[in-house]
A and B are shown apart, each in its own frame.
Chain A
Amino acid sequence: MIALNVNGEDRSVDVPEDMPLLWVLRDVIGLTGTKFGCGIAQCGACTVQLDGQPVRSCVLPVASVGTRRVTTVEAIGATAGGKKVQQAWLDLEVIQCGYCQSGQIMSASALLERNPDPSDSDIDAAMSGNICRCGTYTRIRAAIKQAAKA
């Protein structure tokens, strides 16, 4: 049994230690907002936050999470930054298919959390690990700036 704190809730899951957090969230706990895109930390679709830090859950063995608090897109709206990001995403109609956007929102809200006024180069550094196949990049950039001002 592995103990986890997900979105503020303590849980214990009976899974292999090397199982990536992504599949624990999706297939065991049932939080499907976090997406599978590549499985090799190249696309960012699976981004969650561990103590506010964005990580790729597809390559994160669940046993290595430890006591760090896991936040997923389902709960990011409960943080001030997350809420602003979600709102900006809707206001600027960032989203197309939406499949990458859980990860984009998790990366963007982590960025704003540590850097309330990110420059273009800060956005490059924080967001370039998140691929969007629909090509919503220009709007993501604009929405982060709008959320920063909100």
Chain B
Amino acid sequence: MKRLGLIILAAAVVIAAAVAVFLFKPASLPDVSVAQAALPTGQALIDRGEYLARAADCVACHTTSGGKPYAGGLAFKLPFGTLYAPNITSDKETGIGDWSDAEFVRALHQGIDRQGHNLYPAFPYAAYARMTTEDALAIKAYLFSLPAVHADAPKNDLIFPFNQRYIMRFWNLLFVPGGALQPTASESAEWNRGAYLVEAMAHCGECHTPRNVFYALDSGKTFAGAELQGWKAYNISSDKRTGIGNWTDEQLFDYLSKGHAEGRGSPTGSMGEAVDYSLRHLTPEDIKAIVAYVKTVPPQVSSDQAIVEAEPATLKASIAYAPSGDAAAQGGLGLKLFQGACASCHGWNGEGLQTPYAALRGSRTVNDPDGTNLIQVILKGAHMTTATGAQAMPAFANAYSNVEIAALGNYVLAHFGGRQSAITPADVAKARTQ
């Protein structure tokens, strides 16, 4: 018995030691010299980095509204607390001005900061892990070519045990791929380029793929749609009904590159930002590559009801600047609000009276009986830079009550989506906090 006890004790000590080594051993730095040698220098490198930084959409998370680009500070409200994006300008004190190339690459590929601390995967390093070292270095060169901004991001506010950074090492072991994405020989160059852009750079799955219990992407449900920070990232798998299987290549191309597709509406929220800051800056070839790849992602049937079925009768009976007489006579708070604050841009027939960007016909947002994104966009507004200048919708959160926004949401879903919905003021109250 005593022997056995000793063996167990010894084993425990060994395991504990191994775990301790695993958890607390200083992270080593990758060798980046080969990649460094392969890169151009000067402006050519910076230009390449700029394009890639856009493709990876770094600015969206590392900038607050009204703040300086890449100066950080944006809050991420997660179930276990709030994270703040750090300053990634070249400021030596508050930014990453002191970081070496190897340290930068390690951060992107492994989620480890300069001091060797683990970062949290709100920073999508599980995706960036698949980026080539060359591309990572080009991004760094671009960031370092920008003006340094002195700005301290607020401290993270996480509950225990999530405030213990070392536990991320277990997570990394399970969920972070090692090495850049390798081309699939059986697919075209276009498809492979698309795969690289989608998986390693644009990190689409970070929003569109549901998460498992470890808060990692559920690899069995790629692009099946998910909800985060109060917004729905819709199913973008190739399922015809609940995904984008029914979208034409042209619609996908327009949606991603222009922020609007005929018969599909316009993205808002984070997707609107993704288009505005990132996708619309990509070359048409790259957008086509993304479309080619995304269309081959296997269908995932989601239970989400944000499904565009048919054009409702209410829309067909309306003209751009007037609802059908019957619809107008229905009355109700939602209609009243739409008449006052919305109709002059959106129009009544779903085509967008003022601009195609205000078109609502066919948009999933006005076909989702949950009204999740609809409520958010009414509360927070929308903004999109287009070829003919900025398009914006004001944020109505401040002057309109929960009752009003719920009523407006229900009206819009009925009129533009033919959906019977049941948004309540409490739903709106909750959306305000997200």
Contact = CB atoms under 8 A, between A and B. Distances in A.
Question: Could you tell me the dominant secondary structure of chain A's interface residues?
Answer: mixed
B329 A64 contact: no
A19 B388 CA distance: 9
A111 B344 CA distance: 13
Given A64-B355, A128-B336, A42 B394 contact: yes
Given A119-B325, A119-B329, A125-B323, A59 B354 contact: yes
B414 interface: no
Contacts, number: 74
B282 interface: no
A122 B390 CA distance: 31
Interface in A108-133: 110-111, 114-115, 119, 121-122, 124-126, 128-129
B319 A17 contact: no
Contacts of B251: none
B355 A59 contact: yes
Nearest to A53: B321
A93 B391 CA distance: 37
A51 B336 CA distance: 27
Interface string B317-343: 001111101001101000010011101
Contact of B344 (A17, A19, A41, A63): A41
A122 B344 contact: no
B220 interface: no
Given A17-B389, A110-B321, A56 B336 contact: no
B345 interface: yes
B354 A55 contact: yes
A55 B388 contact: no
A122 B331 contact: no
B353 interface: yes
A121 B329 CA distance: 6
Interface string A59-90: 11101100000000000000000000000000
Given A56-B354, A59-B355, A119-B329, A125 B339 contact: yes
B340 A129 contact: yes
Max chain A C-beta neighbours (<10 A), residue from B320, B329, B390: B329
A61 B388 CA distance: 6
B392 interface: yes
Interface of B: 319-323, 325, 328-329, 331, 336, 339-341, 343-345, 348, 353-355, 388-392, 394
15 contacts: A17-B388, A17-B389, A18-B389, A19-B389, A40-B392, A53-B320, A59-B391, A114-B321, A121-B325, A122-B322, A122-B325, A124-B339, A128-B336, A128-B340, A129-B340
**Which A-B residue pairs are the 4 nearest by beta carbons?**
A18-B389, A129-B344, A128-B339, A61-B388
